[in-house]
């Protein structure tokens, strides 16, 4: 019999109608009352960590979740975390970096409609998450709408539909239903490194999406505020240098020791800064490859939490971890 730990954090799945709209409100006992039956043979223990709309989830909450899994790791065969959908992708990536080497499934799920509503997707999603948590897969995963997504590759694309999440630039791990789990390839295995918790995060980072007309002077202020930046450039990674010279400002910031990650605004296929002149005019940039922004942000916090040396940060950011980067 598999022994699982369910950690609840709030989100739509645990929400109820209030005076000002939906808000997390279900306690653990009431939440358990709505869980569907299962043909699986497992023991499910529960613990409420948080009761937040995921809009209000902060990096400090990622640390709380990671520590909860780490502290109970030897007592359980798998873990399920319920979470709001809006920041689920950031959380799943953050846990992937903080809990490297996990040899058990750590599964995150939620819903678009509260579990107490008649036409909810919550019961299916949590049933599927529990089923996958009984599997021999290793690492952090998002289970949603019958699909299993690597924790570093999940992105929320839809605000209302049941199929809210997609796996970006990486194959789906598996499909899951009442009949079982159908893997798309080999069962995922963690790296050979020992399981460890690395929960020191540096939150002094920023995210900038370039747009025509963006003012170069803004980067002077950012350099005083942050230790790291993720820049979403155009196309393959283009950065303006004429009219308003953003490339010059970015070179100044890297010379000052700021860690800057260059990615693309395009959701699929990643950056290639070597392709065009407008990408080659900056130096010292950290290459994002085909990582998504939801993974880049917690990874940069994690890397800067390990070291303040820009060369070391660049090395960690460009090192594939938990299948977050394939080029």
Phi and psi at 167, nearest 5°, equal -95, 115
Query: Does 12 participate in catalysis according to the annotation?
Result: yes
Q: Is 54 annotated as a binding-site member? A: yes
Phi and psi at 16, nearest 5°, equal -140, 160
Query: Does 264 participate in catalysis according to the annotation?
Result: no
Q: Check the CA dihedral 30-33-35-40 and report its sign.
A: positive
Give the three-class secondary structure for 232.
Answer: strand
Q: Is 198 annotated as a binding-site member? A: no
Q: Check the CA dihedral 276-282-284-286 and report its sign.
A: negative
CB 245 within 8 A of CB 216: yes
CB 15 within 8 A of CB 46: no
Sheet of strand 105-109, all strands in order from the earlier edge strand to the far edge: 42-52, 2-10, 78-82, 105-109, 139-144, 147-150, 174-177, 180-183
Q: Is 46 annotated as a binding-site member? A: no
Which listed residue (8, 9, 12, 264) is catalytic? 12
Which listed residue (9, 85, 87, 116) is catalytic? 85
Spatial CB neighbours of 265, under 8 Å, sequence gap ≥ 6: 209, 210, 232, 233, 234, 235
* Alpha-carbon gap, residue 175 to 142, rounded angstroms: 11
Tell me the catalytic residues. Answer: 12, 85
Residues making up the annotated binding site are 54, 85-86
Residues making up the annotated binding site for substrate are 54, 85-86
């Amino acid at each position: 019999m598999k022994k699982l730990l369910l950690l609840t954090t709030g989100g739509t799945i645990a929400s109820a109608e209030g005076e000002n709209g939906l808000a997390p409100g279900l306690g653990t006992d009431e939440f358990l009352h709505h869980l569907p039956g299962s043909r699986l043979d497992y023991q499910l223990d529960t613990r409420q960590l948080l009761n937040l709309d995921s809009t209000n989830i902060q990096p400090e909450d990622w640390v709380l979740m990671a520590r909860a899994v780490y502290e109970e790791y030897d007592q359980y065969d798998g873990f399920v975390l319920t979470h709001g959908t809006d920041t689920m992708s950031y959380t799943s990536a953050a846990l992937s970096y903080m809990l490297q080497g996990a040899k058990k499934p750590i599964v995150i799920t939620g819903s678009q409609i509260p579990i107490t509503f008649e036409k909810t997707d919550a019961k299916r999603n949590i049933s599927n998450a529990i089923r996958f948590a009984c599997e021999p897969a290793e690492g952090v995963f998002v289970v949603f709408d019958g699909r299993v997504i690597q924790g570093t590759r999940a992105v929320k694309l839809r605000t209302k539909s049941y199929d809210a999440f997609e796996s970006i630039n990486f194959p789906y791990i598996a499909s899951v239903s009442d009949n079982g789990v159908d893997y798309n390839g080999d069962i995922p295995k963690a790296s050979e490194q020992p399981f460890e918790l690395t929960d020191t995060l540096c939150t002094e980072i920023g995210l900038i999406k370039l747009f025509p007309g963006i003012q170069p002077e803004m980067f002077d202020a950012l350099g005083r505020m942050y230790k790291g930046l993720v820049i979403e450039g155009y196309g393959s990674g283009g950065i303006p240098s004429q009219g308003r010279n953003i490339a010059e400002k970015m070179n100044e910031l890297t010379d000052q020791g700021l860690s800057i990650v260059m990615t693309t605004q395009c959701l699929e296929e990643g950056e290639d800064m070597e392709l065009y002149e407008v990408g080659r005019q900056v130096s010292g940039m950290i290459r994002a490859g085909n990582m998504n922004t939801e993974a880049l942000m917690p990874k940069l916090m994690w890397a800067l939490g390990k070291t303040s040396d820009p060369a070391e940060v660049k090395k960690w950011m460009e090192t594939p971890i938990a299948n977050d980067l394939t080029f």
